Structure 1
Amino acid sequence: MPDSPRDTAPKTVSAPSTSTPTVSNRSVVGYFFYGDGCSHCDNIKPVLAGVQSRYPDLDLEQLEVYHNATNQALFLAMDQNLGITSAGVPTIIIGDQALVGEDQIRDNLERVIQQAQAGTLAAAPAGTGNGNVTATKNCPGTFTTLTVPLVIFCAGIDSINPCAFSVLIILLLSIIALQNCRQVLMVGVTYIAAVFLFYFLSGIGIFSFVHLSGISGLIATAAAVIAIVLGLVNIIDAAWKKEGFILAIPESKKPVIERYISTATLPAAFVLGVLVGIFELPCTGGIYLTILSLMSSTMTLSEGIPWLLLYNFIFILPLILILLAVVFGIPPERVNTWRLENRRMLRFAIGLAMILVGILIIFGPRLL
Structure 2
Amino acid sequence: MKNSKKTKKLNFSFVQIFVLVTLIFSLVLNVSSVKALDSAPKDNNVTLYFFWGDGCPHCAHEKSFLEELQQRYPELEVKSYEVWHNSENAKFFSDMAKAFGTTAMGVPTTFLDDKVWVGYSDYMGEEIEEKVKYCIEHGCIDPIQKLGNPSSSEISESKETTSTKAEDNAISEDNAITIPILGKLDTSKTPLIVLTIILAGLDSFNPCAFFVLFFLLSMLIYSRSRKRMFLIGGTFVFFSAFIYFLFIAAWLNLFLIIGNLAFITIIAGIVALIVAVINIKDFFFFEKGISLVIPEKAKPKLFERMRNLLKATSLSSMIFGTIVLSIAANTYELLCTAGFPMVFTRILTLHNLPTFQYYFYLLLYCLIYVVPLIAIVIIFAMTLGAKKLTEWQGQVLKLISGMMMLCLGLVLIINPSLMNNIFTSIAILATALAIAGIIIFITKKVKKYKEAKEGNN
Q: TM-score, normalised by structure 2?
A: 0.51
Displacement of 1:108 in angstroms is: 7.9
Question: Do the aligned partners of residues 256 and 125 (structure 1) sit closer, same or farther apart at CA in structure 2, a change above 3 Å counting?
Answer: closer
Structure 1: how far apart are the matches of 2:95 and 2:109? 17
1:269 matches 2:316 = no
Mapped contact 2:89–2:156 kept (Cα < 8 A): no
- What SS is found at the alignment partner of 1:328? helix
Displacement of 1:343 in angstroms is: 1.5
Report the equivalent of 1:310. 364
Displacement of 1:158 in angstroms is: 1.2
Report the equivalent of 1:341. 392
Mapped contact 2:196–2:365 kept (Cα < 8 A): yes
Structure 2: how far apart are the matches of 1:42 and 1:266? 51
Displacement of 1:69 in angstroms is: 5.6
Larger RCO (CA under 8 A, 6+ residues apart)? 1
Of 22, 25, 48, the match for 1:11: 48
Mapped contact 2:276–2:403 kept (Cα < 8 A): yes
Name the amino acid aligned to 1:324: I
Report the equivalent of 1:41. 89
Of 200, 206, 213, the match for 1:161: 206
CA displacement 1:245-297 (0-9 Å, x = unmatched): 71101122111111111123322222222223211224422220222233234
Mapped contact 1:208–1:301 kept (Cα < 8 A): no
Mapped contact 1:37–1:213 kept (Cα < 8 A): no
* Worse overlay, 296-305 or 187-196: 296-305
Structure 2: how far apart are the matches of 1:150 and 1:205? 20
Report the equivalent of 2:184. none
Mapped contact 2:88–2:155 kept (Cα < 8 A): no
Question: Do the aligned partners of residues 124 and 201 (structure 1) sit closer, same or farther apart at CA in structure 2, a change above 3 Å counting?
Answer: closer
1:278 matches 2:331 = yes
CA displacement 1:30-89 (0-9 Å, x = unmatched): 5423448974324456999xxxxxxxxxxxxx9539x73669xxxxxxxxxxxxxxxxxx
Question: Do the aligned partners of residues 46 and 228 (structure 1) sit closer, same or farther apart at CA in structure 2, a change above 3 Å counting?
Answer: closer
Question: Do the aligned partners of residues 215 and 321 (structure 1) sit closer, same or farther apart at CA in structure 2, a change above 3 Å counting?
Answer: same
CA displacement 1:105-153 (0-9 Å, x = unmatched): 969869x9xxxxxxxxxx97989xxxxxxxxxxxxxxxx9661111111
Report the equivalent of 1:77. none
- Count residues with an aligned counterpart: 272
CA displacement 1:181-237 (0-9 Å, x = unmatched): 111100001111111010112223332332233337654442232222211111111
Of 354, 358, 362, the match for 1:300: 354
Structure 1: how far apart are the matches of 2:392 and 2:49? 63
Displacement of 1:328 in angstroms is: 1.8
Name the amino acid aligned to 1:261: M
Of 413, 417, 425, the match for 1:365: 417
Identity of aligned residues (%): 21
Question: Do the aligned partners of residues 149 and 317 (structure 1) sit closer, same or farther apart at CA in structure 2, a change above 3 Å counting?
Answer: same
Mapped contact 1:216–1:296 kept (Cα < 8 A): no
CA displacement 1:134-182 (0-9 Å, x = unmatched): xxxxxxxxxx966111111111121111011011011011011214111
Mapped contact 1:38–1:215 kept (Cα < 8 A): no
Of 236, 259, 267, the match for 1:191: 236
1:207 matches 2:261 = no
Mapped contact 2:294–2:335 kept (Cα < 8 A): no
1:53-72 residue pairs with structure 2 within 5 A?
63-64=108-109, 68=119
Question: Do the aligned partners of residues 189 and 63 (structure 1) sit closer, same or farther apart at CA in structure 2, a change above 3 Å counting?
Answer: closer
* Worse overlay, 199-208 or 211-220: 211-220
Of 374, 379, 387, the match for 1:320: 374
Name the amino acid aligned to 2:88: H
Structure 2: how far apart are the matches of 1:192 and 1:125? 47
Mapped contact 2:203–2:340 kept (Cα < 8 A): yes
- What SS is found at the alignment partner of 2:81? strand
Structure 2: how far apart are the matches of 1:214 and 1:245? 31
Any unmatched runs of 5+ in structure 1? 1-9, 14-25, 49-61, 72-104, 113-122, 128-143
Mapped contact 1:204–1:301 kept (Cα < 8 A): no
- What SS is found at the alignment partner of 1:186? helix
Mapped contact 1:221–1:290 kept (Cα < 8 A): no
Structure 2: how far apart are the matches of 1:314 and 1:225? 26
Question: Do the aligned partners of residues 299 and 271 (structure 1) sit closer, same or farther apart at CA in structure 2, a change above 3 Å counting?
Answer: same
Mapped contact 2:232–2:322 kept (Cα < 8 A): yes
Mapped contact 1:203–1:308 kept (Cα < 8 A): yes
Structure 2: how far apart are the matches of 1:68 and 1:285? 28
- What SS is found at the alignment partner of 1:312? helix
Mapped contact 2:197–2:365 kept (Cα < 8 A): yes
Report the equivalent of 1:231. 276
Q: TM-score, normalised by structure 1?
A: 0.62
- What SS is found at the alignment partner of 2:370? helix
Structure 2: how far apart are the matches of 1:325 and 1:245? 33
